[in-house]
Amino acid sequence: MIVVTDLTVRFGGVTSLDRMSVTFESGTCGLIGPNGAGKTTFFNVLSGFIRPSSGTVTAFGENLLSMVHYRRARWGVRRTFQTEQAIEELSVYDNVAMVQEHSHRGGSRRDDVLSAISFVGLDIDPRTAVQTLGAGQRRLVEVARAVVGRPRLVLLDEPAAGLPDAETGNLAAVIRQIPARTGALTILVDHDMSLVSACCETTAVLDFGELIASGPTADVLRDERVVSAYLGTEAA
């Protein structure tokens, strides 16, 4: 469970997150909102790339914000990026091993890495260089990196961006299994509402840095404020 209280992020005169308070319980939670709503900013705060001007984030009872960014992976924060960041020069195996070996949680590295690769359904030689893979497979490599070892908080930033429908369906099946496999709280940011409703029991909605709704996904998607944030309101 992570509890976010009064989180505020400012870039100069722009307030990206405005006293955001939200609780993500467990399982897979959605985080949606129009472009510029602050979703990626929120992820960057959790990853430690951005220092918020105020507010707290308590993750499983620990103060996440006091941890140095690279130590958060060891603690259990994993993420994927909006623009996919599979390391091209490395093999599939090395991409995943790179995360595993910096999380220091004991156990056999090879078994960990190979089981993460097969969990995401990448049925290819693990020694294959990532630069030879297609977009969908690269996304899966990123997801494998996010689930290897013992993650406690998995952040998926638009994992289905640019993927064809068939591959998105495949990805949704993998994402749905993440909490069961790892026990990690998974937060999914995406614009694809079918993916969000397929994967997430609960969903929170951001608009201009403010939390405008949260609750069971089906209810949230029917919420009037959410619909108007996405589609706009008719001029009276």
Residues that bind another protein (CB under 8 A): 47-49, 69-74, 77-79, 81, 85, 87-90, 93-94, 97-99, 101-103, 110-111, 114-115, 117-119, 123, 125-127, 145
Nearer to another protein, 33 or 126 (CB): 126
Nearer to another protein, 170 or 217 (CB): 170
Reduced to 3 states, what is the DSSP secondary structure of residue 131? helix
Closest approach, Cβ 213 to another protein, in A, equals: 28
Annotate 174-215 with three-state secondary structure: HHHHHHHHHCCEEEEECCCHHHHHHHCCEEEEEECCEEEEEE
Nearer to another protein, 102 or 222 (CB): 102
The β-bridge partners of 91 are 129
Kindly list the distances between the CA atom of residue 50 and the CA atoms of 107, 124, 127, in Å, as whole numbers in the listed order.
Answer: 32, 36, 34
Nearer to another protein, 39 or 78 (CB): 78
Q: Sign (positive/negative) of CA torsion 155, 96, 81, 181?
A: negative
**Cα 102–chain centre separation:** 19
Closest approach, Cβ 128 to another protein, in A, equals: 10
Nearer to another protein, 127 or 232 (CB): 127
CB 9 within 8 A of CB 41: yes
Closest approach, Cβ 217 to another protein, in A, equals: 25
Nearer to another protein, 78 or 139 (CB): 78
Closest approach, Cβ 135 to another protein, in A, equals: 16
Exposure string (b/e) for 56-85, b if CB count within 10 Å is 16 or more? ebebeeeebbebeeeebbeebbbbbbeebe
What is the residue type of 35? N
Closest approach, Cβ 84 to another protein, in A, equals: 10
Tokens of 197: 């409703």
Tokens of 232: 């706009």
Closest approach, Cβ 215 to another protein, in A, equals: 29
Q: Look at the chain and count its residues.
A: 236
Nearer to another protein, 105 or 222 (CB): 105
Closest approach, Cβ 208 to another protein, in A, equals: 24
Tokens of 122: 């990448």
